[in-house]
């Protein structure tokens, strides 16, 4: 049986180095680029002829728009509308990236801690920037809420800092594990299809069911990641104690 973990191997397509740093163009970077191009081209085609009576493409784009706006409204309220572009980009990037990873000979970059972890850490920095911009120095009250005795600061502040750093970690692990496990199962069943020959239709049926379930999981995980990102952003910009 082939190693089901081989599908997660990062492979260099263009070997590049700069001042001792490896900045090679890999299969992961290629799939990220393809994901961005698919989103851009798809939305451009869907919205090139906007009208009062929407076409199928326009209706699909508006449905995605409404879906993301609902996420923002439920987690951040009306104030969250100003962050729509950021949240919409996040959701579509993850959703399309997850879906493209289901295609044969593709690569699921959302199954790698490096890729998702970088994205999560980026949003941690963005949350801090927006929080400080909105609340000023009051943002740092998140680490030591009003009303607590000052003697508790050495205990509370480290706990709050660890809690803050745990947010991108939890986002990363949740997405990576869910994407990895599903693809490993698909690979194992795919190997059984070849090895069982005439009886390969049995794992084939199971594989088709898993693919349909994985399609649901890809969208679900993009939704969960986006929703939690909105919640964390809301906590950063909220002025309520």
What's the pLDDT at 146? 77
Please write the tens of the pLDDT for every residue from 125-177: 998 898 888 888 888 877 877 777 788 888 888 888 888 888 889 889 988 88
* Structure-token pair, residue 89: 């980009």
Strand 12-14 versus strand 21-22 pairing type: unpaired
Residue 212 lies in a domain: yes
| 234 in Cβ contact with 128 (< 8 Å) | no
Q: Tell me how far apart the alpha carbons of residues 93 and 102 are, in angstroms, rounded to a whole number.
A: 15
Tell me what the pLDDT averaged over the chain comes to. Answer: 83
Does the pLDDT value for residue 94 go beyond 90? yes
Domain span including residue 194: 6-237
Residue 203 lies in a domain: yes
What's the pLDDT at 193? 62
Does the pLDDT value for residue 200 go beyond 60? no
Please write the tens of the pLDDT for every residue from 182-197: 777 777 766 666 666 6
Residue 172 lies in a domain: yes
How many independent structural domains does the chain possess? 1
Q: Tell me how far apart the alpha carbons of residues 81 and 62 are, in angstroms, rounded to a whole number.
A: 15
Residue 157 lies in a domain: yes
Measured CA angle at 208 (ends 203, 214), to 5 deg: 120
Please write the tens of the pLDDT for every residue from 56-89: 888 888 899 999 999 998 988 888 888 999 999 9
Residue 1 lies in a domain: no
Q: Tell me how far apart the alpha carbons of residues 10 and 114 are, in angstroms, rounded to a whole number.
A: 11
What's the pLDDT at 197? 62
Residue 224 lies in a domain: yes
Does the pLDDT value for residue 1 go beyond 50? no
What's the pLDDT at 23? 81
Residue 217 lies in a domain: yes
Does the pLDDT value for residue 50 go beyond 70? yes
């Amino acid at each position: 049986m082939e190693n089901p973990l081989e599908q997660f191997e990062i492979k260099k397509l263009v070997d590049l180095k700069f001042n001792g740093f490896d900045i090679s163009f890999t299969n992961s970077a290629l799939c990220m680029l393809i994901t961005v191009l698919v989103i851009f081209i798809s939305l451009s085609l869907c919205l090139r002829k906007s009208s009062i009576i929407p076409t199928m493409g326009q209706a699909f784009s508006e449905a995605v728009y409404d879906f993301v706006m609902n996420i923002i409204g439920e987690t951040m309220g009306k104030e969250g509308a100003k962050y729509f572009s950021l949240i919409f980009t996040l959701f579509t990037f993850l959703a399309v990236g997850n879906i493209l990873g289901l295609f044969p000979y593709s690569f699921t970059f959302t199954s790698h801690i490096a890729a998702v972890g970088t994205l999560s850490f980026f949003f941690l920095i963005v949350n801090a920037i927006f929080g400080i911009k909105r609340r000023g120095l009051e943002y740092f009250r998140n680490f030591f809420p009003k009303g607590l005795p000052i003697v508790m600061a050495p205990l509370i502040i480290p706990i709050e800092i660890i809690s803050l750093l745990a947010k991108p970690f939890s986002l990363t692990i949740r997405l990576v594990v869910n994407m990895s496990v599903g693809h490993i199962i698909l690979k194992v069943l795919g190997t059984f299809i070849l090895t069982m020959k005439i009886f390969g239709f049995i794992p084939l049926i199971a594989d088709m069911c898993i693919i349909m379930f994985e399609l649901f999981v890809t969208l679900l995980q993009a939704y969960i990641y986006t929703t939690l990102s909105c919640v964390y952003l809301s906590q950063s910009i909220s002025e309520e104690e």
